[in-house]
Amino acid sequence: EAQVTQNPRYLITVTGKKLTVTCSQNMNHEYMSWYRQDPGLGLRQIYYSMNVEVTDKGDVPEGYKVSRKEKRNFPLILESPSPNQTSLYFCASSFSWGSPYEQYFGPGTRLTVT
């Protein structure tokens, strides 16, 4: 089954404790992206990657890191989480070229930083 998986689905952590949210897709997509969703703000792009070893900042990259060492994986790293990073996080993937290249979303990771 074609899908984007994220782990963990729920995470409660404390300020400053490094964490990684994993994202993996099995559709051979070149493009992968991370978003955060906050009430009243919609989804905001954190980072995206056009292909292996190519990453770019989205609208809200501060406090986050990413890496793209393999095509299928795109982990999101919070090196020193703070309470304002409490949010719902989505990973998504798509082809880079060709219409309509809609994004396929993972199920989301709900992160709480205390």
Partner 1 sequence: AQKITQTQPGMFVQEKEAVTLDCTYDTSDPSYGLFWYKQPSSGEMIFLIYQGSYDQQNATEGRYSLNFQKARKSANLVISASQLGDSAMYFCAMREGGNQFYFGTGTSLTVIP
The reply on whether position 33 binds partner 1 by CB under 8 A is yes
List the helix and strand counts (H, then E) for the chain: 0, 11
- Of 102, 84, 98, the closest CA to residue 2 belongs to 102
Q: Which is nearer to partner 1, 8 or 16 (CB)?
A: 8
| Cβ 17 to partner 1 shortest distance, Å | 25
Judge whether 86 and 15 are in contact, CB under 8 Å.
no
The reply on whether position 64 binds partner 1 by CB under 8 A is no
Judge whether 35 and 43 are in contact, CB under 8 Å.
yes
Residues that bind partner 1 (CB under 8 A): 33, 35, 40-45, 48, 50, 56, 58-59, 88, 90, 92, 96-97, 99-105, 107-108
